[in-house]
Structure 1
Amino acid sequence: MKSIRKSISIKWKIYLLLLGFSALLLVVLWLSQVAFLDRFYRAVKVAEIRGGAASIERNLDSPELAALVERTAAGSEVCIELLSENGRTQHSYGDLRDCALHSMRPLEKLRLLAAARENGGELMTYYDRENLRDARFLPADTRRQRTILYARILENGEGEAVAVLINSVIAPVEATVRTLRIQLLYITGFLLVFSAVLAFLLAKKVSRPIERINESAKALAKGDYGTSFSGGGYREVDELADTLNHTARELGKVESLRQELIANISHDLRTPLTLIGGYAEAMCDLPGEMSVENARIIVAETKRLTTLVNDVLDISKLQSGMQQIHPAPYNLTGSIRGMVERLSALLKKEGYTIDFLWEGEVTVDADESQISQALYNLLINGINYAGADKRVTVRQTLEDGWVKVSVEDNGEGIGEEHLPYIWDRYFKVDKTHRRAVTGTGLGLSIVKSVVELHGGRVGVESKPGEGSVFWIGLRMK
């Protein structure tokens, strides 16, 4: 059964639901207008009689009582009599044909009142008109009518008992039911045809945009990131189409950047592998090439290859949530100072200048190895894009319990449209591959992941032609 439900399209599900709803309405109509019409009619009559008696009770001492009784009798098509405790008639209104109250002897009325007292002061009784005297002189349809006699004992303001007798006729509804049944047969046939057509049109209109989105989603699942999702005039469907269009664009960007990353990593991996292979072959084939210098080149390229692979593994662990931190107090200022000194010595021959400006010694509670890696990547990024003057400035400032470390360069800068994506794993402003001093180009993504893992924050300020400032913020101990 479940597999059958899954195989039915949304159009036919909506169609069947609307058709079922129409059928349910028709069933309710048949039950209310045919099967239970007599019960509804009786219930309405009884409610009218009780309502009239209650109105008389509220106005029992009113000087307008006579007028009220007359209006009630005329409005509800009943006969009403008010009797004293000894059975004497005080008020009598109503013009029902062959009224039962008018046909009853005083003794019969007293018996009716006695039965009402025994029943708690109220009595509702039914009988056929055929039981009345001279019923043989009444028309046949009149004899089949049922009569309701209602008696209620009231008490006026002087403490005297007053009886209210109400007589009403329940007309036979068989003829009405037959008429309604014929009408409902025609109405049912028309409504079934009309509901079937309307349900089909509505189901088709509602399901069409969903079916289009489903087809586009299948194309997206196959890797067609250029597919477009169109709405259908409904707010929820339009919002879904907009969301899927945004998803398709983002997936297209990710796929493009993934391919670019693979190309860049392949380029970075190929270079050390080529050097390692070339020098190793030379050392094997040429006896004179078996030198310490060649061995150092192989070792250096092996280390660079290891760094490339480690960067890829690090970013994968960080963004998958598998990387754990082991925070401990350590001197952040001293760590930055030592890092700047080592890189300055390493890059001095290439003309690079790295300045470090700080405001006092700062200790933070963090994982030293990971924060050091983030700072190192931030510095390498500044060095790679330092500009013609090859000057990089590292600043450490304190702000409301936070320590901010920024790396400033005087390079080409970054356009405003690229700033929201600069920390993304695959994003690269300059699409031309440039070999970095070291690393894979994943440095900024590793920085962001490490800092956020420590509860810190990152940021960038840059304009084209004015250089860039990358910064991280950590809470001080």
Structure 2
Amino acid sequence: MKPGITAKLFMAIFCTCALVLITMNWGVRMSFERGFIDYIRQSNEQRVQLLADTLQDQYKQHGNWEFLETNDRLIYQIMRSFEQNSSPRMPPQGWRTKFWILDSHDRRIGGYDQPVPPDLQGPRRIMTVDGVVIGSVISTPAERLTRDADINFERQQSRTSWMIVAFTALLAAAVTWVLSREMLAPVKRLVNGTHLLASGDFSTRVKVDSEDELGKLAQDFNQLAMTLEKNEQMRRAFMADISHELRTPLAVLRGELEAMQDGVRKMSVSSLESLQSEVSILTKLVDDLHQLSLSDAGALAYRKVDTDVVHLVQLAEAGSRDRFHAKQLTLTSHLPESAEVFGDPQRLSQLFNNLLENSLRYTDPNGGLEILGEIRDKSLYLMFQDSAPGISDEQLSRIFERFYRTEGSRNRASGGSGLGLAICQNIVEAHGGQISASHSPAGGVRITIVLPLSVTSGPRN
């Protein structure tokens, strides 16, 4: 079984803490040992110097070493006087080395009762009187004493330090385990949420309890889940709408053909025109679906050049004017002389024709459509505002959804597939613009398009 991310993070942090503890313990021990040796060395060297100075003064008073040879306890009395003296020159208490007092011929006259080792390398102080060498004081090195007499103290310190390391390691392990679990709790929630999301449960969400990088990741995950859930709902609604849209004309065609086959209805020009009408509805629906799928995939062939949008609007207006008059609708426009944008003239013409067709289908007779245009903030604002009937705020928010048709007069009876405005939205966004819907002052719907002008574009007088 492979370790999880919690175990890996725990081992990483714990191993780092353990390495730091061992390194610190080793460094402290090395520093302590060296400092302890230096402490003993300096203490012994100072005591040897003090002892040599004292014996040198005693020699001046007696003139020879007989006072020391006949009174071996004098040395220890001198040493005890060092401990009782409160002078700041006094070294720390405790004589930690063996020492010998030698005369000018290196013969022992006091101190340790064993002969001086021939290879002794300890501190040595020469005693002189009036420039004549009278003897010396020599002691064993501090390093040798540390390895021998202080071994118990060193072992005690070693045991204590390792006990501290063990206790600190256990404490670090406990803290690391708690921290690793707490730190990785958001990650585990994201992992579980991702598994649910991958299995098709788009309603899953993760708890956001921080504002750090993990919190932002959780927010992005929730946003992704919401988008996928919305897309899944739209996909299902899209499929249902397509089947519904295709079912009606196909049912009409089937009924007409069966009636002709059964002799209920004679084949005539009017019956063929009825069939042709349903075929036209199917053809337009399929064409709209094809255009919408291409625009969604970004596969529409946009051949962008500097284009005068005002001229394109005027061409679309001229092509639709007779149809508006035939339905007793007025068509007026108030546009700037010109406005160039970097776009595809064919797709922009399709955009304007779709908007004109939308108003032509859904506007009541004796009404009209007004097209307004103005240039501001380096953008062209076009407003297509028609007359009654109007729609509600909730319907305005959904007007660009696929297959969405409002109730009342703006329904399928007018011949729309519910895809025209969705295609318009894709075309506008492909040109870097924006499209929105609002209530028209004339009682209908206002469609506002904002297109960025070309760099060299501007109103021409």
With the length of structure 2 as denominator, give the TM-score of the two structures: 0.65
Q: Which residue matches 1:220?
A: 197
CA distance in 1, matches of 2:198, 2:278: 41
Tell me if structure 1 keeps the 8 A contact 2:395–2:406: no
Q: Which residue matches 1:253?
A: 230
Post-superposition offset of 1:78: 5.8
Tell me if structure 1 keeps the 8 A contact 2:310–2:336: no
1:444-475 Cα shifts (integer Å, max 9, x gaps):
33223222323444344448995432122443
Q: Which residue matches 1:98?
A: 48
Q: Which residue matches 2:58?
A: none
User: Residue type of the partner of 1:185?
Assistant: W
Q: Which one of 7, 11, 15 corresponds to residue 16 of structure 1?
A: 11
Q: Which residue matches 2:268?
A: 291
User: Residue type of the partner of 2:169?
Assistant: L
CA distance in 2, matches of 1:145, 1:334: 110
Tell me if structure 1 keeps the 8 A contact 2:351–2:424: yes
SS of residue paired to 2:417: coil
With the length of structure 1 as denominator, give the TM-score of the two structures: 0.63
1:213-267 Cα shifts (integer Å, max 9, x gaps):
3323333333333333213456444333333333333333333333333333322
Bigger drift between 252-261 and 335-344 goes to 335-344
Equivalent positions of 1:10-89 (< 5 A) are 10-34=5-29, 38=33
Q: Which residue matches 1:124?
A: none
The runs of 5 or more residues in structure 1 that have no matched partner are 46-74, 80-93, 104-128, 149-167
Equivalent positions of 1:74-473 (< 5 A) are 96-99=46-49, 137=111, 172=146, 175=151, 177-233=154-210, 235-286=212-263, 289-328=266-305, 332-346=309-323, 350-360=327-337, 366-383=343-360, 386=363, 390-399=367-376, 402-410=379-387, 411-413=389-391, 415=393, 419=397, 423=400, 426=402, 428=404, 430=406, 434-435=411-412, 437-462=414-439, 467-473=444-450
Q: Which residue matches 1:159?
A: none
User: Residue type of the partner of 1:98?
Assistant: V
Tell me if structure 1 keeps the 8 A contact 2:386–2:442: no
Tell me if structure 1 keeps the 8 A contact 2:305–2:343: yes
What is the aligned-residue RMSD (CA, Å)? 4.6
Count of residues in correspondence between the two structures = 380
1:62-99 Cα shifts (integer Å, max 9, x gaps):
xxxxxxxxxxxxx99969xxxxxxxxxxxxxx971224
The runs of 5 or more residues in structure 2 that have no matched partner are 54-96, 125-140
SS of residue paired to 1:98: helix
CA distance in 2, matches of 1:463, 1:145: 110
User: Residue type of the partner of 1:21?
Assistant: T
Tell me if structure 2 keeps the 8 A contact 1:212–1:229: yes
Tell me the percent identity.
23
Tell me if structure 2 keeps the 8 A contact 1:459–1:471: yes
Instruction: Mark the CA change 1:465 to 1:132 in structure 2 (over 3 Å): closer, same or farther.
Output: farther
SS of residue paired to 2:383: strand
CA distance in 1, matches of 2:396, 2:165: 65
Post-superposition offset of 1:183: 0.9
Greater C-alpha Rg: 2
CA distance in 2, matches of 1:17, 1:353: 77
User: Residue type of the partner of 2:47?
Assistant: R
Post-superposition offset of 1:284: 4.7
